[in-house]
Each structure stands twice: as C-alpha cells, then as structure tokens.
Amino acid sequence: METTELLKKVRQIEIKTRGLSNNIFAGQYHSAFKGRGMAFSEVREYQFGDDVRDIDWNVTARFHKPFIKVYEEERELTVMLMIDVSGSLEFGSVKQLQKDMVTEIAATLAFSAIQNNDKIGVIFFSDKIEKFIPPKKGRKHILYIIRELIEFKPESRRTNIRVGMEYLTNVMKRRCTAFVISDFIDREDFQNAMTIANRKHDIVAIQVYDKRVAELPSIGLMKIKDAETGHEQWIDTSSSSLRKKYNEWWLTKQDVLNEVLTKSNVDSVSVRTDQDYVRALLNLFAKRN
C-alpha cells in the first residue's frame, strides 16, 4: 500500500473509531473494565455505618477518636490487544474482510482505552509471536498501532492461540486487560493456557467471522482453499447434505469454543462481518457490569 493511501486509510479508521469511542463507549468502557483495585487515598473521621476494618489505628491513637482509611479505585489500566494475523482472517464474502473488522474493533478499543488514560499495547500472533508493541499512551502511539494493523504482514499463516496466551502470561508482569481478537479457528487446544492467563490477567475474547465460514451458499461446483495450509479442493455446493454437514461442523466448533471460554471463565462476544460490531461490543460491556 502506498504511503498516501495508507495515511488516508489510517485517517478514515481514526475518524470512525474515535467517534465511536467518544460518543458510545466512553462510560460503558470505563465501568466494564475497572482498575487494578483500590488505592489508599486519605483518612477521615469515623462515621456511623463505616466498616470497622478500615479504621486507621495509628491516626486513631494520635487523635484519641476513630479515623478510617478512604480508598479510591486505581483507574489506570494496561490494555493489550492480542491480534490473530493468521491466513484465515483474510477471508470475507459480504461487507468486508474479517481482517478489516478486526482492525476497526481494535482501533475502537484503543481509542476507548486512551480516553480513560489507559496504556495500550499489541501482540500480533499466528502460530508464533509475530510482533510485540509495548503498552504506551497517546494518539501518536495509537496511530502507529492502526498503521501496523493495516499493513502488518505475518511470517506464518497458521494459528496457535496457546502460544499467544503463554507469551502474554510471561511478558506482562502486572495485571492487564487483554482483548483476544480472532476467528478462533485453531486446530490446537488452548483451554489450559487461556485459563492460566485469565488467572493473572483479565482476558476478553472477541470472535470475528464471516457468514460463509458458517454456511455454504448453493452455487454449484466451488473451489475452496484452506487459507492457512494452502490445501485446495473442489466441492459441490448444490448438495444439500454437504451444506448441512458443513454447517453442523461449524456449529460443533462453536459449541467447543463456547465450552472452552466458559471453562476458562473468559467473557466473550461473537460478531459476523455483515453485522454491527458496535452492538456486539456494547453487549459485551453490558455483560460485564
């Protein structure tokens, strides 16, 4: 992509996604993704109904009357975007490529994060860690992230979510909120790695998929290609039994994924490329409040 075309695309995504985060997500994001915990703020005189466990005994002894510690929420978060850059995300049949929707969702979350004064970083993964962008604040940093989301070319086309989860657990020393944005089509088991990562961090799964990955159209002979392995074959989509089997395969995969996310105690949302991701994100935020 030429530099002028790239800058134009970055600007378009910034205008759209910053507008969304300003107008729609500001309050919802803040309440759905709270800070690391409570930080000591000040002391004040004890009032009826206060929790006696919060009494500051040193100050109480000095002034001969009870004082309690007042805490406030530590708001500042570190947010990590874990972006699946495997070959299967390059597919799209309706409104946009899965990859393009992933970019928009990631950019919207990034602008929501800096509005709340949170740091934001990125891990691009395939079946290996492709790139790590350490968390920082500021618009310049986010525009760099958006540019990478548009332009990044992975070395591998395969998927291994377990590798991404293990890297997050090891590289991020302090607790963070991590959005895993992927189609979650993975031949490997990642439940254990996700469970461990979610104990240390706050993991949120956002599945992006295309309508045609879930159901085949009836258009006769069609050549299909596995975007990750490169394997090609012809199939007859006019066969209703073939379409039914394919759809059953997809539904089974979704059931397995939902079970993995439930057992890992990970909040999740699923959005199709021809659907409104704004509504999907708002539903995710509402679920966490």
**pLDDT score recorded for residue 1:** 59
Domain boundaries, given as residue ranges, for the chain = 3-32+76-288, 37-74
Residue whose C-alpha is closest to residue 269's, from 252, 286, 287, 284:
284
Q: Fill in the amino acid letter for 236.
A: D
Alpha-carbon distances of 44 from 60, 149, 218, rounded to whole Å: 10, 49, 71
**pLDDT score recorded for residue 237:** 67
What is the mean predicted confidence (pLDDT) over 93-109? 80
What is the mean predicted confidence (pLDDT) over 207-227? 71
Give the other-Cβ count within 10 Å of 102's Cβ: 24
**pLDDT score recorded for residue 116:** 78
Residue 220, Cβ density class (10 Å: 0-12 exposed, 13-18 middle, ≥19 buried): exposed
Which range (117-126, 133-142, 209-218, 230-239) has the least confidence? 230-239
Residues, the chain: 289
**pLDDT score recorded for residue 74:** 54
pLDDT tens digits, one per residue of 118-166: 899 999 999 999 999 999 998 899 889 988 998 888 899 888 999 999 9
Mean confidence (pLDDT) of the chain: 83
Confidence at 94, pLDDT banded by 50, 70, 90: low
Over pLDDT 90: what percentage of the chain? 33
pLDDT tens digits, one per residue of 11-39: 777 877 777 777 666 667 777 776 555 55
List, in sequence order, every residue forming a beta bridge with 44; answer none if it has no partner: 68
Query: Alpha-carbon torsion 97, 103, 106, 112, what sign?
Result: negative
Residue 107 near residue 148, CB atoms below 8 Å: no
Over pLDDT 70: what percentage of the chain? 81
pLDDT tens digits, one per residue of 38-55: 555 678 888 887 888 888
For residues 209 and 16, the model is more confident at 209
Q: Is the pLDDT of residue 72 over 70?
A: no
CATH fold label, 3-32+76-288? Rossmann fold (3.40.50)
**pLDDT score recorded for residue 261:** 94
Q: Is the pLDDT of residue 260 over 90?
A: yes
Stated pTM of the model = 0.78
